[in-house]
Amino acid sequence: MTASTAWRLAPLVSQATFRTLLDTLARPGTIARLPEPFGSTIPAVLCLPLALSDLGIPITVVGDPDRWAGDVARATGATVTAPAHAWAAAVVAGFEPALIEQFDPGSALEPERGARLAVLVSELGSGPLSLSLSGPGVPGRRHLRLGGVAPEALRTLQSRNASFPAGLDVWFVTEDGRIAALSRTTELEVIEVDPWGM
C-alpha cells in the first residue's frame, strides 16, 4: 500500500479531524488531540491538507520529507503549488519570518484567500516560549507554552495578522497528534521563559 493510498481519510476520520480543526480555531490556545491514525500511521502535521483539501485546492508541504506533498495531492485531488499560492499548508521545517511572508493573507475584500498553516512543533503545553493570547474565543487571557518555534516567526505572524479580516490561521501540531490553533483574530504576546523553570 502506498502512502497516498493509506493517507486517504475515512469519512468518520475526516469529519473528526475537521471538527478538531474548527474547535481549536474557535478556542485559540487550547490543546486537543487529533483522531487516529494521525500521529501513528499518518504524520500529524498533514492533518490540515488531508482534511480540508479536495479537487484542485492549492496546497504545499514545506520541508517536504519523502515528497509528502505529492502523496497528499494524490490522496485528496489537491494541486501542489508554491507557498505564495497555497490555500492549505503543512510546515514540517522552516517556519521562519521569510517563509511566513510568502503566504497570502488575503485581503479585506477576499479574506477567504488567507492561507491556513499546520506547523510541526516539538512541544505543546511546555517549552521555552509562552504565548499570552486574547481576542475572540479567549475568555480574558490564555497562555500557551510551546517549543520548536522561533520568537521572530511568531512576531512576524502577528504582523501578518494585523489587518483583519485578512490574515493567516495557524495550527501548531506535535508528532504525536496534539494540536492548538491561533486564529487570525488572536492577539498574542510572545514571552520567552526559562525551559528549566528556574
Q: Residue ranges per domain, the chain?
A: 3-124+147-181
pLDDT tens, the chain, 198 aa long:
566 667 999 999 999 999 999 999 999 999 999 999 999 999 999 999 999 998 899 999 999 877 899 999 999 999 999 999 999 999 999 999 999 999 999 999 999 999 999 999 999 999 999 999 999 999 999 999 999 999 999 999 999 999 999 999 999 999 999 999 999 999 999 987 765 544
Q: What's the pLDDT score for residue 32?
A: 98
C-alpha cell at 198: 528556574
CB 42 within 8 A of CB 75: no
Q: What's the pLDDT score for residue 2?
A: 62
Q: Which residues contact 68 (CB under 8 A, 6 or more apart)?
A: 3, 43, 46, 61, 90, 92
Predicted TM-score (pTM) of the model is 0.94
Strand bridging mode 123-135 / 187-192: antiparallel
Q: What's the pLDDT score for residue 197?
A: 47
Strand bridging mode 116-120 / 169-173: parallel
**CA gap 146, 46 in Å, rounded:** 19
Q: What's the pLDDT score for residue 192?
A: 77
In the chain, how many H helices and how many E strands?
6, 10
What's 3-124+147-181's CATH class? Answer: alpha beta
C-alpha to C-alpha distances, 140 to 98, 126, 182, nearest whole angstrom:
32, 21, 15
Give the DSSP per-residue string, 129-149: EEEEEEETTEEEEEEEEEES-
Residue matched to cell numbers 500521529? 39
Residue matched to cell numbers 473528526? 16
Q: How far apart are the first and last CA of the chain?
A: 49
**CA gap 65, 106 in Å, rounded:** 28
- 14 three-class SS: helix
Torsion, CA 99, CA 112, CA 188, CA 117, rounded to 10 = -40
Q: What's the pLDDT score for residue 37?
A: 96
Q: Which residues contact 48 (CB under 8 A, 6 or more apart)?
A: 21, 88, 89, 90, 116, 117, 118, 171
